[in-house]
Structure 1
Amino acid sequence: MERLITGTIEHLIFPPGFIILLLLFGLLLAKHWTRTALGLSVSALLLLYACSIPIVSSRLMMFLQSDFAPLSAAASRAGAQAIVVLTGGRDSDALEYGGESVSHYTLVRIRYAAHLHRQTGLPILISGGSVKGEPVSEASLAREALADSFRVVTQWIEDGSRNTWENAQLAAQTLREAGIERAYLVTHAWHMRRATQAFANTDLAIIPAPTAFVVPALGAEQWLPASSALHQTTLALHELVGMLWYRLRY
């Protein structure tokens, strides 16, 4: 029930949900408060345009990843003892794989974790539980994909977490019990700011190892609406609200 409520709120406060609500509110007021309704409708259209253009979405993403860079040669010799990779969802309707598989986001992350593992030889911990109470955790799906697609064995899985904050707490606990004090952290570059914020509240020292950087939009097309830009804007706002929520709650 908690996840249902949280998910509903997320759909309503992020685009395009809140924009649709604004339009509906304008329609409800149209009969008696025409000017107010018109103002709300125009505002909704302007917001939809702003959220859908690459010049806005890419700059939001650039802000989120601005403190991080691809792992350097120096950082690759920084004394890490393990690799922590955070899952990023699942594909529940992967019929070609017999049911469930990892999402695109998780696949991108475990691919880089496999690359880093081959460079360093360090063991991998995959962190990700069952967000909606699914019988198989995201970490288990990712472990299977890592073995099948990249021929890499996972040393540990943490399958009790439901969000990034819990990823950090439970992954750090698992590694602490294994005597690990310092680890690479693999996730999307735009997710790294929130992830490091969560791990800062643990005793595990983290070396950011971001992947899948977003490049800035260029040219006239950056002003043209695109569904991919709307998706990026939603992701960025989710990260910003998530960081604020962690500060307030924890």
Structure 2
Amino acid sequence: MNAVFFPLSKVVYFVITPSNFFIFAVLAGLLLLAVTRLRRTGFGLTIIGGLGLALGGLSPLSEAVLLPLEQRFPAYPPDGPAPAGIIVLGGGIEAGLSEARDQIVVNDAAERPIYLADLARRFPTARLVFSGGSGFIRGGIAEADILSRQADVIGVPRTRLILENRSRNTQENAAFSASLVQPKPGERWLLVTSAWHMPRAVGCFRQAGFTVDAFPVDYRTRGWSDLTRFNGFASDGLFQLDLAVKEWIGLVVYRWSGYTPDWLPGPEDPAGSASR
């Protein structure tokens, strides 16, 4: 199923990404106004696209869509118990650029590998798993392989790393990691990923029979007070809106596909915690 699911998800997301959708609406509307008699339809599409770009870019709409995801799991307490293992999901390393430039190049989710290094230092006996394959449809080097080469740069001992380099999406992160480490009943494992991605990630790990505690990072909002803030740059708001809409769509699709047990997984496992 994943052989079709992965490339299809890339194509569908490109089309329905809010910023792309609004731009397509404006272009389609202008085209209809210029070359057809469907002036009312063309005018309507142009207005919808223009308003969407303005509201999505400048208003707190993006924060309103993102906050329920980021607030779903609390931050892991500084004095939390030491885990048996730590799993960090890929997504923070630009694998292609890193390979081309022969150094680690990170993106806006760089907190994921940063906290891998921090947690490795804080918990020197914990097993360290980095799960990240290639995000390209046709091949490409895996994030885990880049991290393997550049582990010393971020201060992570290469000898401690357990690398999972086959996964292309969150469901595969969970399934392949569970198969790789085979956690024992009663073990505490931390899952490190972006706060906005944590509900879907935890749901996938639960569905894979792997009980994890959330360690959210890479926050994009300050909290509910952001609902009163407006963006200084439309590009910032549209980027956040694209991210949030993609994640909400991902939650729905993953639930329909049976990859997660709930529509919006939360801190409490609805199936109980008997596996711990």
Structure-2-length-normalised TM-score: 0.79
Give the aligned partner of residue 92 of structure 1: 96
Compare the two structures and name the one with the higher strand fraction: 1
* 1:164–1:198 Cα contact (<8 Å) kept: yes
Gaps of 5+ in 2: 259-276
For the aligned residue pairs, the C-alpha RMSD in angstroms reads 2.7
Task: Decide whether the 8 Å contact of 1:81 with 1:183 is kept in 2.
Answer: yes
The residue that corresponds to 2:58 in the other structure is 53
Deviations 1:15-64 (Å, cap 9, x if unpaired)? 22111221233234323121221111111111111221251222222111
Indicate the residue corresponding to 1:241 in structure 2: 249
> What's the counterpart of residue 37 of structure 2?
32
Percent sequence identity is 27
Q: Decide whether the 8 Å contact of 1:87 with 1:139 is kept in 2.
A: yes
1:118 aligned to which of 112, 117, 121: 121
1:202 and 1:147 map into 2 onto residues whose CA distance is: 31
Shift, 1:181, TM fit: 4.3
Corresponding residue of 2:191: 185
Contact 2:112 2:192 in 1 (8 A): yes
The residue identity in structure 1 corresponding to 2:66 is M
Decide whether the 8 Å contact of 1:54 with 1:225 is kept in 2.
no
Equivalents in 2 of 1:155, 1:95: separation in Å? Answer: 19
Distance 2:140 2:40 in 1: 52
Contact between 1:126 and 1:139, CA under 8 Å: does it hold in 2?
yes
Q: For the structure 1 residues 179 and 105, does the alpha-carbon distance in structure 2 shift closer, same or farther, using more than 3 Å as the test?
A: farther
Partner of 2:222: 215
Q: 2 CA distance for matches of 1:179 and 1:145? A: 33
Deviation at 1:224, TM superposition (A): 4.6
Deviates most, 38-47 or 207-216: 207-216
**Gaps (5+ residues) in structure 1?**
none
TM-score, length of structure 1 as denominator length: 0.87
Q: Identify if the C-alpha distance between structure 1 residues 232 and 152 changes in structure 2 by more than 3 Å, giving closer, same or farther.
A: farther
CA distance in 2, matches of 1:106, 1:124: 19
String of CA shifts for 1:128-185, please: whole Å, max 9, x gaps.
Answer: 1123243521111123333322243343111111101110111111110788943100
* Residue aligning to 1:8: 11
CA distance in 1, matches of 2:97, 2:119: 29
Distance verdict in 2 for CA 1:156–1:235, change over 3 Å? same
Aligned to 2:268: none
Aligned counterparts of 2:120 and 2:155: Cα–Cα separation in 1: 11
Rounded to whole Å, the distance in 1 between the matches of 2:113 and 2:24 is: 37
Contact 1:90 1:106 in 2 (8 A): no
Is the Cα contact below 8 Å between 1:80 and 1:207 reproduced in 2? no
The residue aligned with 1:232 is 240
Q: 1:162 aligns with which of 160, 168, 171?
A: 168
Would you say the 8 A contact 1:114–1:150 is kept in 2?
yes
- Selected match of 2:157 from 149, 152, 172: 152
Residue identity matched to 1:149: I
> How does 1:60-99 map onto structure 2 within 5 Å?
60-73=65-78, 76-77=80-81, 80-88=83-91, 89-94=93-98, 97-98=101-102
The CA deviation at 1:72 is 0.6
Whole-angstrom CA distance in 1 between matches of 2:183 and 2:156: 26
Instruction: Give 3-state SS (helix, strand or coil) of 1:209's partner.
Output: strand
Match of 1:18 in 2: 21
